[in-house]
């Protein structure tokens, strides 16, 4: 029988009622053999994610504060789920152990990972599935990077021993056995790792929206669902802020060519979005596939006469950033000017120092930095075949009275990136959406 790997996000696992929905979905198709879960998310507006509560517990314990009250809130949430599901399990021992570990400074990542660990234990018991601790099958290298091949070997061998299992997302182990997590939202990556290791026919990612939407639903009202999207388009959009799937979740399934299906736990009847390797069999009527964007960038603008004919000018500028471990996002340039777009958070506290460094290394005529820049990516595999896409983007932006500060188009014509002022961000996203979608 073929296998489907399912991953349920935090909002899909927030309380007992959601657990029942999740179990119904899993039981509806017996190919759904391996299940990856997040920690319980928000149950209502203003509620707390368990992961955030664990982070807070760790910080308090580190500061020598008492965590009893906060920890008992976490305990209540798990107990409530277990009790409402009538599960004959007691988490008291596990929770005591975790609390002691926090007082003993077992690590920030350890603390955060317990959210998924406990949730996976409860779901495994509820479904009657085995529990596989991700600590025993997901591995990181000493430098903190993910060890993909070793993980795949161990995870594949481990899955063969379990016909059906629940695996906590988000974390794994360092070579010395301590817990390490992926970045926030990282359970999506675990789901992808398990799908590859299980040689699954499909990786289903269940969340609280009916698929990948053409724009962020918090900015555009009721955006259209994208029916099919390629791995590459999705990576562009995820990287640029479409947070529905972690941007690194693509890699494990891409190696194995496994499609991802984004689905809605509250509306299982909706088909959701298919994320596929190759688009040739999935033609699209739309010129653009989606729009995403992020705030928080700084443009370092550099001018020097005859810059274009000065051999090595760009290298000198980028060398200054490299020496300080700063990566850049975009590099639009003219004959006598270039701009380097960098995340403002990477420059925090050292901007002057970097500008001085560039002055010393590259001796520009002028240099300045402009923060408060937002980037918007307009992404579409069909753009390469259709004329006038950029013109349409700029018409929409101009009509919305938004000033464009930077333009960049990837050489593969998969995306157009524009830089604007942060205060214009939402307005610009809405204007571009309206121009392309009616
Ligand atoms: P989960 O808890 O299931 O992992 P996330 O909160 O990580 O869910 O991701 C789902 C959320 O992503 C949606 O509720 C939505 O607010 C947000 N989102 C942002 N951009 C998009 C987009 N383009 N399409 C769908 N959802 C998006
Ligand atoms: N629980 C983790 C987080 O909140 C991981 C995840 O949900 O994917 O980031
Ligand atoms: Mg998520």
Pocket test for ligand 1, best of 44, 192, 205, 243 (most atoms within 8 A of CB): 243
Residue nearest to atom 5 of ligand 2 (CA): 185
More reliable by pLDDT, 107 or 280: 107
* Interval 211-224: pLDDT, tens: 999 999 999 999 99
What H or E segment, with its residue span, contains residue 20? helix 16-27
pLDDT at 282 over 60: no
Q: Which helix (H) or strand (E) holds 288?
A: none
Nearest ligand to the C-alpha atom of residue 210? 1
Ligand 2 binding pocket includes 179 (Cβ within 6 Å): no
DSSP character at residue 44: S
How far, in Å, are 301, 303, 327 from residue 334 at the CA level?
11, 9, 21
One DSSP character per residue, 362-410 reads H--SEEEEEEEEEEEEEE-TTGGGSTTHHHHHHHHHHHTT----EEEE-
pLDDT score for 401: 95
Identify whether the C-beta of residue 350 lies closer than 8 Å to the C-beta of residue 308. no
Ligand nearest to the CA of 113: 2
Q: Which ligand is nearest to the CA of 9?
A: 1
Q: Does 290-436 match 4-276 at the fold level? A: no
Q: What one-character-per-residue DSSP string does 178-223 give?
A: -EEE-STTTHHHHHHHHHHHTT-SEEEEEESSSS-BSS-TTTSSSP
Task: Tell me how far apart the 2 most distant CA atoms of the chain are, in Å.
Answer: 76
Q: How far is the CA of 304 from the centre of ligand 1 (A)?
A: 43
Per-residue pLDDT, 413: 78
Q: Using 50, 70 and 90 to split pLDDT, how confident is the model at 256? A: very high
CATH class of 290-436: alpha beta
Q: Is 316 in the pocket of ligand 2 (CB under 6 A)?
A: no
Instruction: Note the CATH number of domain 4-276.
Output: 3.40.1160.10
Assess whether pLDDT exceeds 90 at residue 228. Answer: yes
Going by pLDDT thresholds of 50, 70 and 90, the confidence category of residue 438 is confident
Q: How far apart are CA 431 and CA 438, in angstroms?
A: 12
pLDDT the model gives residue 342: 95
Which residues are within 8 A (CB) of 268 and not within 5 positions of it... i.e. 6 or more apart? Answer: 21, 24, 25, 28
Tell me how far the alpha carbon of residue 306 lies from the centroid of ligand 3, in angstroms: 47
The atom of ligand 2 lying closest to the CA of 182 is 5
Q: How far apart are CA 243 and CA 208, in angstroms?
A: 12
**Mean per-residue pLDDT of the chain:** 93
Cα separation, 85 vs 91, in Å, equals 14
Q: Which of 204-208, 256-260, 307-311 has the lowest mean pLDDT?
A: 307-311
- Residue-wise pLDDT for 13-55, tens only, equals 999 999 999 999 999 999 999 999 999 999 999 999 999 999 9
pLDDT at residue 354, as a whole number = 94
pTM score = 0.89
142 alpha carbon to ligand 1 midpoint, in Å?
A: 32
Map out the domains of the chain as residue ranges: 4-276, 290-436
């Amino acid at each position: 029988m073929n296998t489907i790997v399912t991953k349920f996000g935090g909002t899909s696992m927030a309380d007992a009622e959601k657990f029942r929905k999740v179990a119904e979905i899993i039981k509806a198709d017996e190919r759904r053999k391996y299940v990856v879960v997040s920690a319980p998310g928000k149950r209502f507006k203003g509620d707390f994610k368990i992961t955030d509560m664990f982070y807070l517990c760790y910080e308090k314990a580190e500061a020598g504060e008492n965590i009893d009250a906060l920890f008992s809130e976490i305990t209540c949430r798990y107990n409530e789920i277990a009790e409402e599901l009538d599960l004959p399990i007691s988490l008291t021992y596990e929770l005591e152990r975790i609390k002691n570990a926090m007082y003993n400074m077992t690590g920030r990542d350890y603390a955060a990972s317990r959210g998924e660990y406990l949730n996976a234990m409860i779901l495994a018991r509820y479904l009657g599935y085995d529990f596989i601790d991700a600590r025993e099958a997901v591995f990181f290298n000493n430098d903190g990077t993910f060890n993909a091949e070793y993980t795949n070997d161990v995870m594949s061998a481990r899955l063969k021993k379990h016909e059906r299992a629940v695996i906590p997302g988000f974390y794994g182990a360092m070579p010395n056995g301590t817990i390490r997590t992926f970045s926030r939202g990282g359970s999506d990556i675990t789901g992808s790792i398990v799908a590859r290791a299980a040689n699954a026919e499909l990786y289903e990612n269940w969340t609280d929206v009916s698929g990948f939407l053409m724009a962020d639903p918090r900015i555009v009202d009721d955006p259209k669902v994208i029916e099919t999207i390629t791995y590459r388009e999705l990576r562009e959009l995820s990287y640029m802020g479409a947070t529905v799937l972690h941007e690194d979740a693509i890699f494990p399934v891409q190696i194995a060519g496994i499609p991802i299906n984004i689905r809605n736990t509250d509306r299982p009847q909706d088909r959701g979005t298919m994320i596929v390797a190759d688009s040739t069999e999935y033609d699209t009527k739309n010129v653009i596939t989606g729009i995403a964007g992020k705030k928080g960038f700084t443009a370092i603008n550099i001018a020097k006469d005859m810059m274009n004919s000065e051999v090595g000018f760009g290298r000198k500028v980028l060398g200054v950033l490299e020496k300080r471990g700063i990566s850049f996002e975009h590099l639009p340039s003219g004959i006598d000017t270039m701009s380097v777009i960098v995340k403002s958070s990477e420059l925090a506290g050292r901007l002057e120092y970097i500008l001085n460094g560039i002055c010393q290394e590259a001796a520009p005529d002028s240099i300045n930095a402009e923060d408060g820049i937002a980037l918007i990516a307009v992404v579409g595999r069909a753009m390469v075949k259709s004329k006038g896409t950029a013109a349409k983007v700029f018409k929409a932006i101009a009509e919305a009275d938004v000033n464009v500060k930077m333009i960049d188009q990837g050489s593969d014509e998969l995306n157009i990136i524009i830089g604007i002022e942060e205060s214009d961000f939402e307005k610009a996203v809405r204007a571009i959406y309206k121009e392309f979608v009616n």
